[in-house]
Structures are given as C-alpha cells and as structure tokens.
Structure 1
Amino acid sequence: MSHPPHAHPSSRTEASRTEAPRAGASRTGGARRAVPPTLYGPELDGDALPAFYEELRRSHGPVAPVTIAPGIAAWLVLGHRELLRLTRDEQDFSHDPRRWTPLREGRVPPESPIMPTVGWRPALLYADGQLHRRLRSAVSAALARVDGHQLRRDVRATAEALIASFASRGEADLVAHYARRLPSRVIIQLLGLDECTGQQLVHAITGVVAANADSVNASKRMNAVLLALIAEKRRTPGDDLTSALLHHPVGLSADEVLHNLVVMFTLGNGTTVDWIATTLRVLLCDPAFRSSLTGGHLTVDDALDLVLWRHPPTQNVPARYATRDLTLGGRRINAGDMLLLGIAAANQDPEALPTTGSPVTGNRAHLAFGAGPHTCPAQDPARLIARTAVDTVLHRLPDLELSVPESSLTWIKSPWTKSLAALPVRFRPR
C-alpha cells in the first residue's frame, strides 16, 4: 500500500491550518504529492491498515485525502469527533451519491469497480430525511419480526452441523468451512431463499464487495436472484424478511424491496462473517484473553466488543457527500465531495480513547455500527448470530489452535472491509 511521506505528528490545531488538497494532490510537510494515498490495490493488507491509518492521521490530521479506485478521489474521515458530525448532520452531509460531483459530471466510468457499492439505489443506505425514515420503518419492522429465540436455535443448529462436517478430520479452515458459511445460511433462511439459490446470491454479493473488475457483472447476478425471489414472495408470501418488506404498510415498490434486500444482505452477511472470523482469530492468538474467557472473567460478548473496537469488520463505509462548501477537521470540503467513514481509524482516535486502561470491556461506544439516524438497524440479530457462532465452536472444539504461524495469515484486499482469507486450525479429531 502506498503510504504518504513521513511527517512530524501534528495536532488538530496544526491540521486546521493545512489547506485541502485539490483533485489528485495533497500537501505533506511542504511537499506536494501527485496522487493521494491509495485505499485499494494488491498491496492493501489487513495487518498494515492500523499503521496506515495512523500515518494518515499524523500527516493529514482527522480528515485525509485518499484514492479509492483509479482516478477516484475521496476524503477519509479519521477523527472520532469529525465522524460523529458526518453521521449525524444530514443537512451538510447527504447519503445520496447523485450529489457526487465526478458522477454528475460523467467522470466515473460505469464499469468502475466501486460503482456497485457507491452507485445510487432506492434503499435506506442512500436516502436522507423523510425518504430514509420511510424505508427504515419497513426494514426495522421486518427485522423486529425475527424471533430471537428461534434465530438462536437456528444458528446453533447450523453451527453444530458445520462443525460436524469437519470435526473428524482434526483440522479445518474456520473462514471457508465455518464463518463464511454460517451467517449466509442463516440469512438465506431469513430472506426466504432455498439453499442452492442462496449460495448463488452469496457468490454474487462476494463479487460485488470485492470491488474488482467483475463487480459490475456480479451486481447483475445478484439483482437477478433477488428479483426472482421478490416475484415468488409477491405470489406466495411467507414468514420471511422479503415478504415482510413487500407487505409493509408504507407500500415499498419492488425496486425498493430489491435494493433494501441488497443492503441488508451485503452489510449483514459480510460483516458478520468477518466479525466471527476475527473474533476467533483474536481468541486463538491471544492466550491471556482466551484464558480470561474460558475462566469466566470475560464473556464472548467482551471478545466481540474487543473486535469491534480494534478490528471492526467494516473498516471504511461509503459514503457521504457534502451538500455545500464547508470545513471539516480543518479541511476545506467542496460541495459534491465524497467523504468515507473511517470506522477503524476513528475507533482508535487518541482524542476519543481513555488515556489509561482499555476501552473495550463493557464499553460499546465504538462506531462499528455507525451513529446518528443511520445506525445499523440489524445490530442485535448480527450480535446474536456472531455470539452463538463463536460460543458453539469454542465449546465443541475447546482444544482449538492455529495450525500456521499468526504472521502467515492473509487478508482479502478491499477498501471497505478487513476480511481474513483463511484461518487454518487443528484440534483433536471428534
């Protein structure tokens, strides 16, 4: 990953005197860069991300220029205080990408790998004000219909079946064989999809989130699966999220149902996969923390919160768009600029963290689920799925250990998420 030149650490007062970079240029220690630091590409590495964010903070302050795809510039908001303003102030920061200047001016190619992620959809993630409240009311009501007790039983049964499928071998990849399969199977059931069609949806959405050359085609495959599901549930409603959205009193159109399902599945599945996998990695690589857990001093929820503070599955969230010329974190932001929510960096903002002790145990003031009117409406079922998944594997495989050095673990390259590519483990065969 390209890093900005080293500079002396600067306070926010110093950062506020730094001029905002114009398209494709930033100012660091008096020298000009032709291109802002990149947040994409083959050099993007999960292990390097924390240091990368801190270097951005030292060099640029709480709001840093980045490129998220070839020729696509944005601002990455690293400061906790600045990110709260970004999430809470819909007057100055819109969710509607049609305000994005390069897109309005036709400077973003339709085949750009980020378009399936940042392109406008009639979904709550891309709406402000009254429209957002209307869409959110339908999504929240659909999620409220999920029976938590039944969901826990379904997750545990799915987890037990997955563990049984590899327990006799004495080894497994907890990403491919467990974390990646469990949430998708559960969410597929919640949507009302059969297993085969659901896996087609999983593969398509994986391609969309990857933000690569195939993302546009993956988006078309995803839409095709969901449109067929919507047509079926309109004819034959069931006790599922899709039917609940279709028949909510606000009267969502088929297009609105489609794109809200995309948002629910994309965010719900991918982040829960990463949350489970990273929590298991932390427990495998931190013997003291795992001992505290097994000894009853800490809970699985404590482990889950540690991950949300230090290794949030969604590192950077696209996007907000400035509605007017303004200043944020000492940067001059132009109307129509894109701003990314730097969740991982904001969680580690020195101005927001306690000076002593750990912010983790018993503290859920992290920004992993967002803040303001767009706080994630599915965080409770997501936590239930993750907690049950981690608890089940620890109870069924108590002698679990990494089968490779921690330093050899690799990451999937993405500007948005921090996803383990694999988590190979060994244990006594069952």
Structure 2
Amino acid sequence: MLKRPITLLLILTTLGGGLLSSCQTSSRIARSTGIAQGFTPDSIFRLMQKTARWQLDSIRNKGWRHPARDWTNGALYPGLLAYASIAGDSTYYHFLKEEVGDKYDWKIVDGRARYFADNYCVGQMYCDLYAVYRDPAMIADLKLLADTLIARPHTEPLDWKNSVQLREWAWCDALFMGPPPLAMLANVTGERRYMDLVDSLWWKTTAYLYDPAEHLYFRDGSFLHKKEKNGQKMFWSRGNGWVMGGLVRVLENMPEHYPTRSRWVKLYRDMAARIASLQQPDGTWHASLLDPASYPVKETSGSGFYCYALAWGINHGLLDAKAYAPVVWKAWAALVSCLHPDGMLGYVQRIGGAPDQVSYDNTEVYGVGAFLLSGGELYRMAGGEPRKK
C-alpha cells in the first residue's frame, strides 16, 4: 500500500485531490486550454478561497445545515481539505479536527443505521486527518466498522425494499459514501483486506445498477424500468456524478498493481467517455442525463463531481488531455458562473433521490465540496503549486 507522509507540511501538499501524486506535471494541452479561457492558477485559487471561506463562515455564523457527521457534510469535507492543501492553511484542519472529530470522539454513528453507507462517508475526513496527525483514535471506530463489514455475508439481493440500504450499497450514490473511506483506510493502514472489501462490494452494486449499454448507473432498483418524458431511461446526474467521484477517490488510494485495477480503469474510462458526450451547451450536466430538456437549468452537484473526476483522470494520465481538457474547462467556467458574488454556490439540486428542478439560489454543502474538489484538480492542471501561508 502507498503510505501517506507523516509531517503536516507534506500532508498539506498531498491531501484533497492528489496534488503531488505520481503524475507530477499537468499536460501542456490541458494547461494551455485553460489559459486560453482565462484561467490561471491564481484565478482558480481565488475562486476556491472565496467559496471555502463563505462555507466555513456560514457554518460558524449560522450553524450547521445538517448534522456534522451527516453524508452531506461528508461530501463537503474533502473539498475543504482540497482547498486547504493548496492554500497551506491549517485553519480547516483544526476546525474539522475540533468541531467534528474531537467533538464526536471520531466515532461513526451507532445503532441500526451504523452500516448505512451515508453514515460512514465522514470516514474520508477521518482518514485524511489521521494522515496529518497520526492519532490512531481518529480511525479506530472506522476500522472497527470495516472489520465488521468484512465479517458480514453480503449475500442479500439489492432490490430496493426492506431497508436494504441500511446493509448494502444498493443505490448508486452510495458508491461515493462507502467505498472511498474504506479505500483510504486501506491506504493509511496498509491493510489490503479493506481494499478487497471495496472491490467485492463495488462490483456487486455495479452488477445490479450499471447499464453496460449506456455506461451509466441507475439510482437504485426502483429505477431499472423508469422512463423520462422523452422515453429515455432515467439516469440521475448527481447520482452518476457521485459514482465517478467515488471511482477516482478509490483509484487514488488503490495500489498500481492491485489485481483488478485494470477493471476499475476500464469502467472509469467508459463512464468518462459517456459523460463527456452528455455535456450540455451551457457546460453543465442537467439533473436528468438523457432528458435534459425536461430539466433545462444547469445543476452543480452532479456537474461538480464530473468536472472533478474528469480533471483527475487527465492529471493522472488516464484520460487524453486533447479530448477531455476542453470538456473540463467548459465545465469549470459553468460552475464559476453559478457562484454568487459572496462565494455562495448556486444551482445545487436539493436533497433527494431523483432528477428535480433547481435555481440560482439553491445551495448545499455537498455542491460546495464538489466545486472545491474540481478547483483542486484544475489548479493543478493549470500548473499551480501548493502555497505556503
């Protein structure tokens, strides 16, 4: 397993988007495409800074929109850490450590919903901060949960009934909630069995929800035969965005010579090609991927994760920059157009489980997380280097 560096200085340059991963330099094509559109490392950094500060100030001044360990915030934290890693700003590390980790003793929720993937999404942040502080208490409960997951049979069908989501990854957005913290746990502990668990359960979900003809995931079993108004299959943008976000976060923590890595890479490339083909003229992906006309307004919580995942692939040499950089920079320009002057991100579809309408004034923490993760990868594509505060 890859080991994360121990010192805070090195961690600040590696967390939240793999800024100093094995692929050290951005493609010349990718960089020049961004520069041609007026995006520079400094301009990207300033946009990330404004958005991250707005979000942190909102939590401090108005309180949490959702419980601190909720899945919504679990998707926010990687974005905040992506910004912190570029900015060299320990403020965000200290805030998450004190106001989330220490406050809740680094626990995953107990009770009937303990094995609900939403409730261990926060484990991504626990692993990131463990890599900074090296305090075993930070991942102790996540490790206990992972050990229990390994011991469970996972033989139950994924049909959307009998609260199956409390036991299995039976809906597509679970692939951002559950696999990344377990893959990160495998990375920081060096214990392959956690990656083997991710591998086994990911492909179980994929066998049920992935449409190999469309290269997209249905949201859950109840969507397998649903149709949009135009007669197309119903594929939710945010759900598939979160699948791609989960894919790259697993790949980032997976050893290069892991036995099934090539299978993961093929899935990623197949989805990337399909998603790129579905980008709308406004640069985003609308709430319904195959019926954008029924949801004509841009949407940022799905688009942010597509932008992040595609940029990550360029930066790691898995996608051709000539083909994908224009898609990524167009998406970034669209995301930036959704920012309010004070840094609030708009056009974020509200909490739900299917395509829905959205407006400029709709914001949510998970959309901010996706925006900041995108910014981290694009900063790198533009040739930016980690800063010192």
Same-fold status (TM-score > 0.5):
no
More helix by share: 2
More strand by share: 1
Normalising by the smaller structure, the TM-score range is under 0.3
Superposition TM-score, scaled by structure 1 size:
0.24
